[in-house]
Chain A
Amino acid sequence: MSVTCTGEDRNLRLTVSGEVDHHGARAIMQELDRQVDAGLPRRLTLDLSGVTFMDSSGIAVLLRAYRRMAELGGALTVANVPPQALKVLRAAGLERIIRFE
């Protein structure tokens, strides 16, 4: 599991790779918090193109990103969600509150 960060002008893109489960979720959240605190983004894109597996721990990660961006008055977009992860996120109804592209 790894998280890489790119972006400028308060447009942050976090690319998550590997398996997003309970074992890895805490590290992803810590990196998310660190990057959001440092960059105070207006727009955050979580790119999940490299995610090879996700369980309900991923739901908690996305909800945290959503809350952090709501606190900042910014927008969250989740991009390139692989089919397995999308099925998990849909089962939780997340597409009703988070924008997927």
Chain B
Amino acid sequence: MKPINEAAISFLSRSANEGFARTAAACFAAQLDPTLDEVNDIKTAVSEAVTNAIVHAYPDRLGKVSLRLRLFEDGVLEIVVKDWGVGIEDVEKARQPLYTTGSEERSGMGFTIMESFMDALRVRSAPGKGTTVTMRRRISRRYSGGGR
């Protein structure tokens, strides 16, 4: 299925970009006229995925993180967060609640939050090559806008 709109940004793995990325995603989602709850869910899930990339993908250097947003006819927003960092050895283990290899600021609940706030979550990773997190969320349409 072809998207009806899409946007992409990339940024360095600096923690200051966490706020930038989630706000950009919320702005893109705004064209669907989402509820405040829906916007907050999107911001939270994007924050988790981008923070994972910033904390784990590039442990000793700055690297590139990309955020791609696509919107489909049926009101589904697809969010893809990709990095080219160290990758995840065992994705299944990493997705377990409370599992973390991070420092004490991390709770190990990132994937759990993404899973519970989005309709679908897919994580693809290869050690040494990077990680791609794909999330989908359907936004219920409240009116039909006239824009193209």
Contacts and interface: CB of A to CB of B under 8 A. Distances in A.
Contacts of A26: 105
A31 B107 CA distance: 19
A57 B107 contact: yes
A100 interface: no
Chain A residues touching B, majority SS: helix
Contact of A60 (B37, B47, B105): B105
A10 interface: no
Q: Assign chain B's interface to a size class.
A: 20 to 34
B113 A55 contact: yes
Contact of B106 (A60, A91, A92): A60
Interface in B83-139: 97, 104-107, 109-110, 112-113, 116-117
Interface residues of A, number: 23
B83 to A, nearest CB: 15
B48 A55 contact: yes
Nearest to B55: A22
B105 A22 contact: yes
B19 interface: yes
A77 to B, nearest CB: 20
Nearest to B47: A55
A22 B109 contact: no
Given A22-B15, A22-B55, A23-B15, A57 B44 contact: no
A91 B104 contact: no
Contact of A23 (B19, B37, B104, B112): B19
A25 B105 contact: yes
17 contacts: A21-B19, A21-B51, A22-B18, A25-B105, A26-B105, A53-B22, A55-B47, A55-B110, A56-B48, A56-B51, A56-B109, A56-B112, A57-B105, A57-B106, A57-B107, A60-B107, A87-B41
Interface of A: 19, 21-23, 25-26, 29, 53-57, 59-61, 63-64, 83-84, 87-88, 91-92
